[in-house]
Structure 1
Amino acid sequence: MEFLADYAGFLARTVTLVVAIVVVLVFIAALRGKGRRKPSGQLQVSRMNDFYKGLRQRLEESLLDKDALKSLRKGEAKSEKAEKKGKKIPDAKPRVFVLDFDGDIKASATAGLRNEITALLTLATPKDEVVLRLESGGGMVHSYGLASSQLARIRQAGVPLTICIDKVAASGGYMMACIGEKIISAPFAILGSIGVVAQVPNVNRLLKKHDVDFEVLTAGEYKRTLTVFGENTEKGREKFQQDLDITHTLFKNFVASYRPQLAIDEIATGEVWLGVAAIDKKLVDQLMTSDEYLSERAKTAELYHLHYAERKSLQERVGLAASGSVDQLAVKWWGRLTQQRFW
């Protein structure tokens, strides 16, 4: 037992030393990085046609015998050679730029989306197409407003925009989706939720019960309409509801401007529909998965997947590993318990 106690003490001291060294190294890295320019990100581009071709060839290699496979490859090479010989200047295939947006409550993916759109607009023409694979249940009004504005840049440039939804595009997610000239949805994806919600808990009576005073001082009559700790008034509630109604009206007008075929007052109730029902409401134009749509486009167009990857410093990587999950939970729950407004 004495040996085990000595070993446990030694182990504890070793762990403490290792942790101390790591903390010192992170601190030194932070000091060295202070004042330096933050590392920039990088645009990653991959040709999706090669991906689809690779899938087909791998299946052929598994199913065909050696002679049949050899004959198939020889025929493909012969066809490609004949096509090149017959066309000294081959017709350029249309290009399809594929983007992804996986939205959280803060629409954090907007940071990469804006750079991807800026890059593709330097080359894209009305003969090309942008396909956005969108997944989002919505979030903060201002965050999804900015994300939607980024997509509007594509429409303003005259480049066709197609939105593909496999799982969900609700609330702020549908605000983004409606900008597409064509909306394609999986049969059981969730769409709609054109509404606004805000939740504000109030613990003022609890504080009073324990003789705790909480003062809210403002300069401006409506600087703070509802509070978490102070005493709320009926006038404040009315103003808060008025602000929500105004935001909802702006939301409806925005959607209607891009999809005038919608009976906006009928669908802007905060309800959601599955794809098979949403097509009858004209929330979507076609029922199909993104995989089906892109694999079909790959037969006649060149597909390029764009992803803007941020480079993170050492202290940023350590910080994310240590507190990323805690931060996400804090933002999610505190945001929903305060006066943040959500699409």
Structure 2
Amino acid sequence: MKSFFKIFFATILGFFTSLIILFFFGMIMIFAIVSSFSKEEKVSLEPNTILKLDLNYQIPERTSNNPFDRISFPSMESTNFLGLDEITTNIRKAAQSDDVKGIYLNLGIMTSGYATLETIRRELDKFRETGKFVVAYGEMINQRAYYLGSVADYLFLNPVGLLELRGFSSEVVFFKNMFEKLGIEFQVFDAGKYKSASEPFRLEKMSDANREQLEEYIFDVYHNYLDKVATSRNIEFNRLDEIATEFEARYPSIALELDMVDGLMYEDEVRDHIRSKLALTQDEKFPLISLNRFRSVPGEKESASRDRIAVLYAEGTIVDGKGSRDNIGSESFVSTLRKIKEDDRNKALVIRINSPGGSALASEVILREINQVKEKMPVIVTMGNVAASGGYYMACTADKIFAQDFTVTGSIGVFGLLPNMEGFFNEKIGLTFDRVQTGRFSDLGDVSRPLNEFEKEIIQSAVDSIYINFKQRVSDGRGFSMEYTESVSQGRIFSGTMALENQLVDTLGNLSDAIAYAAWVSELETYRIAYYPEQKDPFESLLEGFAGGIQKRILQTAMGKTFQYYQQAEQALEYHPFQARMPFEIRLN
């Protein structure tokens, strides 16, 4: 017995000792990450420097302050992390530098939205206008990468690589049969002919109305894609359409014959080409600097002006309450708007929206506060990849609305979605429920039973009321009659160019254009830019990552493409009863 207790307590002691050691080394790692984040080296440039851009990752709107966003899970390797804000800023900085002679664009499997890539493409074009060159190279070049790379002066493909140009497609995944097998039924309440957000939960394929709007959108953005690529590559538009439709350029040799690329080279040969552009011999090296390091090169000094333009990022699903860094919480967002309004240094507000919508109530709460800010300063909205439904709700009363060609917007409509999980509880896991209540509606919305017909009428009436309110906000903000608003509503989605034609936005342009307009309308010759919401310090962001961010990223890495389907199904069970939300995520494959 004495021997047993000796072994037992030795085991316990060893266990806790191991925990202490792991905790100790974990804290060392954490502080090392935070320290490296906050003490970045200052980099100086050499003559003939080439800036290398590797953008084959999901580019966020804004560079995160969270050290975990610099790490790829679960491999724990360093990864690209810069947001669109810093990418564009550093391309402009490179254009102004006498030491930077060109950009080397590494193409691959890009996943960022086309509006994001369009913004970068435009900055690369401006870089070329300074007399400097852009060289692009890839082994496997997908359609997004080709869209970006086509702007380069020289575009090279690996001799045994692949160029993917085959036209656009967009798929919708339907969960109806899966949930039926689980004993879960979705009770649906729609307002709007095209408000098809509930279709994946009640149908097995697209409705005719949904197919109609998707086809109109996809052909419009495809036309924009072809137009820009054809212009850059000096290929006739209809011929480029044929090449894409027939997937003609899939083989490198044929891609070269069709002038889709400028040459077939391996990477070392591309570097030799860059040397020739720099008038260097084959033995001479040139400095190649990554974007992550180049960001530490000193740029122009910030203006000393007291006047500021506030830039507020609104990215993610719109939710009630405080929300998180991955969504737009009405409480937190309103608090930030008030902070902007109360700071007399702020002379204009630019809101950058990248949101498919979400809670209708949260959207209304946010819009009211935006209107309060409008009483003190101009409010300009700029739309990114998506600003639809609740995202458009937030935007509709702005003094000026900017969209981009590839922006998904509109979707002016509302739906309600309430799961009935009686079958799941009773038949799948053996749970039954009984209740006492003080009134006939005391348990309205309880997911353990189906709604009766009168309860369905109550919820549908609420959805219709919110839809009317949504249309009224659009009519007031855009100066439309209710009849015209109805004609562009019904939940229909639009591209940025389609939205401009239908007067839902005022002009096409990106964040830089919106800031320039804000300065003009506010009569500011010099100003600083104040970015909101203010980012948390690295250590606080690190701790926040432990609260769920890491688990999400590991799951996303493990599931790959199917993660979006898992997330969509999970969110459906957590929806606020009334949603002003995009029908589904549009991914152009």
Q: TM-score, length-normalised on structure 2?
A: 0.41
Aligned to 1:147: 366
SS at match of 2:579: coil
- The aligned amino acid for 1:177 is A
Q: Going by fraction, where is strand more abundant, 1 or 2?
A: 2
Deviations 1:275-315 (A, max 9, x none): 11111211100011223444677794424132312453986
Structure-2 separation of matches of 1:238 and 1:24: 59
Assess if the C-alpha contact under 8 Å between 1:226 and 1:240 holds in 2. no
Aligned to 2:451: 232
Structure-1 separation of matches of 2:96 and 2:427: 73
How many residue pairs get aligned? The number is 282
- The aligned amino acid for 2:529 is Y
Identify which of 327, 333, 338 aligns with 1:118: 338
Gaps spanning 5+ residues in structure 1: where? Answer: 1-12, 27-43, 66-91
Gaps spanning 5+ residues in structure 2: where? Answer: 1-12, 27-64, 66-84, 102-130, 133-304, 556-562, 581-589
Aligned to 1:131: 350
Assess if the C-alpha contact under 8 Å between 1:170 and 1:191 holds in 2. yes
- Call closer, same or farther: CA 1:322–1:186 in 2, change over 3 Å: closer
Matched, 1:171 2:389: yes
Matched, 1:161 2:200: no
SS at match of 1:130: strand
Aligned to 1:318: 546
Assess if the C-alpha contact under 8 Å between 1:185 and 1:289 holds in 2. yes
Aligned to 1:287: 508
Once the two structures are TM-superposed, the CA of residue 147 in structure 1 deviates from its matched residue by 2.5
Assess if the C-alpha contact under 8 Å between 1:103 and 1:173 holds in 2. no
Aligned to 2:405: 187
- Call closer, same or farther: CA 1:223–1:231 in 2, change over 3 Å: same
Structure-2 separation of matches of 1:138 and 1:149: 16
Deviations 1:104-126 (A, max 9, x none): 2426444554444333322157x
Assess if the C-alpha contact under 8 Å between 1:215 and 1:230 holds in 2. no
CA RMSD of aligned residues (A): 4.2
Matched, 1:96 2:309: yes
Assess if the C-alpha contact under 8 Å between 1:279 and 1:286 holds in 2. yes
- The aligned amino acid for 1:186 is Q
SS at match of 1:342: strand
Structure-1 separation of matches of 2:409 and 2:579: 16
Structure-2 separation of matches of 1:313 and 1:188: 32
Assess if the C-alpha contact under 8 Å between 1:197 and 1:244 holds in 2. yes
Structure-1 separation of matches of 2:543 and 2:100: 47
Aligned to 1:302: 527
Once the two structures are TM-superposed, the CA of residue 160 in structure 1 deviates from its matched residue by 0.7
Aligned to 1:79: none
Once the two structures are TM-superposed, the CA of residue 172 in structure 1 deviates from its matched residue by 0.8
SS at match of 1:241: helix
Matched, 1:340 2:572: no
Structure-1 separation of matches of 2:328 and 2:439: 35
Aligned to 1:8: none
Superposition pairs of residues 5-20 of structure 1, within 5 angstroms: 17-19=17-19
SS at match of 1:276: helix
- Call closer, same or farther: CA 1:196–1:100 in 2, change over 3 Å: same
Structure-2 separation of matches of 1:116 and 1:206: 42
- Call closer, same or farther: CA 1:181–1:212 in 2, change over 3 Å: same
Assess if the C-alpha contact under 8 Å between 2:425 and 2:432 holds in 1. yes
Assess if the C-alpha contact under 8 Å between 1:261 and 1:282 holds in 2. no
Structure-2 separation of matches of 1:190 and 1:257: 22
